[in-house]
Structure 1
Amino acid sequence: MAAATVTVPRIKLGSQGLEVSAQGLGCMGMSCAYGPPKPEPDMIKLIHHAVAAGVTFLDTSDVYGPHTNEILLGKAMQGAVREKVELATKFGITVSDDGQPQICGDPAYVRAACEGSLKRLGVNCIDLYFQHRVDKKVPIEITIGELKKLVDEGKIKYIGLSEPSSSTIRRAHAVHPITAVQIEWSLWSRDVEEDVIPTCRELGIGIVAYSPLGRGFFSSGAKMVESLSEDDFRKLIPRYQPENLDKNVQIFERVNAMAARKGCTPSQLALAWVHHQGSDVCPIPGTTKIENFNQNVGALSVKLTPEEMAELESYAAAGEVHGDRNAEIMAIIWKDSDTRPLSSWKPE
């Protein structure tokens, strides 16, 4: 299924007015985390191909590189491309000299981070600005209050949260409407369905699903893991360690068999499952290859019955998935972080 044969629909992301392509493009792997940075001309060509195909929602962050992914997107969006794109970036994670991630939601930092992203991206306004991870030390009301000022100043259009708890979403939304929440959501990462997803839907908040292909696992299973370079952080993920991978491969094999019956690829089937979660969900699979991008867009043509959805979910039921979804080094920026009460806040 080539991208040219699929019309990418548009969806309303949240209830504040933002409209995006029903599938986005996660850009992190172009610059970092998944092995060495990829050649810049090739990545710009891929981004232009995506936009021409109708995938106009581009997702990045200042920590990707750090900074180099935003610079890449800035180059790719020069000229008329910018007007065709819904641009999302993030703030909140910095990396210390010893390589440890740190979280910051302090107002002065929020403003400085936004100014830095605007400059690197070469834009006057960011369409959707996410707090990448929640700072437990700073009340969410304080962070959102500064973001609200940036909205009023025209530097960002919409506010988002990434990996928040349900209570954090409610507290933030009371200060300024939250347009979207970004979470890891895939066949084998479904814990958000219990609390976070219902909260978003109650409040009219859109859902952006990152790693909808299980960080690439549903593309080729064990073969994907075996092909990872030494500097690919996925090598640290517990689900890919030998003691867990041997069991998790059985999930992929079942998905692959069902995909063969339906005449699609396993990655298209896994991505179609996310698309079938609702019209308020926008998955953002990442890739660095045009052929893989085309395949991902082809998932929009895969139709699943309720029976097929249930069958897929049974393959990756809680007891069938072995190992955590993230590496131990990422524990500091784990999901479901609640911030301290507003009443306890004393700015330095």
Structure 2
Amino acid sequence: MRFNPKARLDTSRVQDAGRGGGGGLGGGGMRLPIPSGKAGGGIGGFILILALVLLSQCAGLDLTGGGGGAPTSSGSGFDTSRVAGDSDRYANCKTGADAQDDVDCQRIAVENSLFDFWSDALPSQSSTAFQPASMVTFTGGVDTGCGAATSQVGPFYCPADSRIYLDTTFFDDVLERQLGGPDGGFVEPYVLAHEYGHHIQNLLGTMGQVRTQQGPRSDAVRLELQADCYAGMWARAATETEDAFGEVLITQLTQEDVQQAIDAAEAVGDDRIQEKTQGQVTEESWTHGSAEQRVQWFVTGYQQGALQACDTFAADAL
């Protein structure tokens, strides 16, 4: 993956909260709440977590929602009401050359690319207006619109505040070491694209279609597979995305990069995680889909590049 050194990076939608305290996401039980599809309190702090099965079985984390409130996305600005101060982690990220040399600046460039892609793709392929998601990186713990989160939660999207939260140690500590996932430059972009896919679902109202929480054909699995498909859509068009001045952001995305995304999708399949954490596969408890399903839908998005092709809720076979 290579970045255009002439591209200018926009850090306005990304913030680093630094090191925060502990605490789980609310209290009650390890479950994925079913959203009502209504803005505000109806969502009830609904969260979508990339490694939910690992966390519920291994880390023992409480995943019930807290908080509430309508999504807050206004222009390209960043609402800092729930984030305690910016560490200036991204202050030196100015150009694509910085993204090429620094993983933090790469994160900014990927966010800029996702912003540009969906700002065009969503309104052109649907009747829904685009609003950007914001991104918060943190260490240890962070307060969110869905409650207090710790590093154990892994990357997640909170629809109550329209933000993607990420402790960047997840990729080495959990995805690679615990799950045996790939170690590569395109793994994090795939994860960020998946979480941004949840933001697109939030804007489209797709979360309101979720009625069943578990099982290989459940609505929860369909939601996750669709987010993988949306990630594939972005990957297909990544080298066409531009900064605010019309400069291409990403100049090269290789087949090796795409393979890293596929390998990461396999590593977080419910069956792969269950095999590693409990030694057996129990399909009735799936929430994210099998390794094969996750790869299939990422590839579908990558090959077809269309929202309609990613309609997992209408698909008979997953």
TM-score over 0.5 for the pair: no
Which has the greater radius of gyration? 1
Bigger fraction of residues in helix? 1
Give the TM-score normalised by structure 2.
0.26
